[in-house]
Amino acid sequence: MHHKEKPAETAPKEAPGKKDTRGSASDMGITVKKADDFSEWYTQVIKKADLIDYGIVSGCMVIKPYGYAIWERIQAFLDSEFKKLGVKNAYFPMLIPESLLKKEQEHVEGFTPEVAWVTHAGESKLDERLAIRPTSETIMYDSYAKWIRSHRDLPLKINQWCNIIRWEFKHPMPFLRTREFLWQEGHTVFASRKEAEEEVLDILDLYARAFEEMYAVPVLKGTKSETEKFAGAVYTTSVETFMPNGKAIQGATSHFLGQNFSKAFDISFINQDEKRDFGWQNSWGFTTRSVGIMIAMHGDDKGLVLPPRIAPTQVVVVPILFSKNPEASEKVLSLARDVYSDLQKAGIRVELDDDAEKSPGFKFNSWELKGVPLRIEIGPKDVEKESVVFARRDTGTKESVPVTKAPAKVGELLGAIQKALFEKAKRFLQSKVVEAKDMYAVEKVIKDGGIALCSWCGSLECEEKAKDATGAKSLNIPFDKHAPKDPCFACKKESKHRIHFAKSY
What does each C-alpha distance from 457 to 169, 253, 377, 491, 492 come to in angstroms? Answer: 32, 24, 59, 8, 8
Q: ∠376-381-387 over CA atoms, to 5°?
A: 50
Phi first, then psi, for residue 313 (nearest 5°) are -115, 120
List the domain boundaries for the chain.
25-298, 315-416, 432-502
Q: What amino acid is encoded at 42 in this protein?
A: Y
Q: Examine the pLDDT at 142 and tell me if it is beyond 90.
A: yes
Q: Is 17 helix (H, G, I), strand (E, B) or coil?
A: coil
Q: What is the CA radius of gyration of the chain?
A: 26
Considering the entire predicted model, what is its pTM?
0.93
pLDDT 10s digits, 224-246: 999 999 989 999 999 999 999 99
Query: Among candidates 124, 132, 76, 72, which has minimal Cα distance to 101?
Result: 132
d(CA 413, CA 401): 12
CATH 3.30.930.10 fits 25-298, yes or no: yes
DSSP 487: P
Cβ-contact 46, 288 below 8 angstroms: no
Q: Is the dihedral of CA 150, 153, 157, 160 positive or negative?
A: negative
Q: Given this chain, do its domains 315-416 and 432-502 carry the same CATH topology? A: no
CATH class in words for 315-416 = alpha beta
pLDDT of amino acid 89: 98
Contacts of 268 (CB under 8 A, 6+ apart): 145, 148, 262, 276, 277, 278, 279
Give the Cβ contact number of residue 153 at 10 Å: 15
Mean pLDDT of 176-204: 97
d(CA 297, CA 214): 13
pLDDT 10s digits, 298-336: 999 999 999 999 999 999 999 999 878 889 999 999 999
pLDDT of amino acid 109: 78
pLDDT 10s digits, 425-458: 999 999 999 999 999 999 999 999 999 999 999 9
CATH topology for the 432-502 domain: Translation Initiation Factor IF3 (3.30.110)
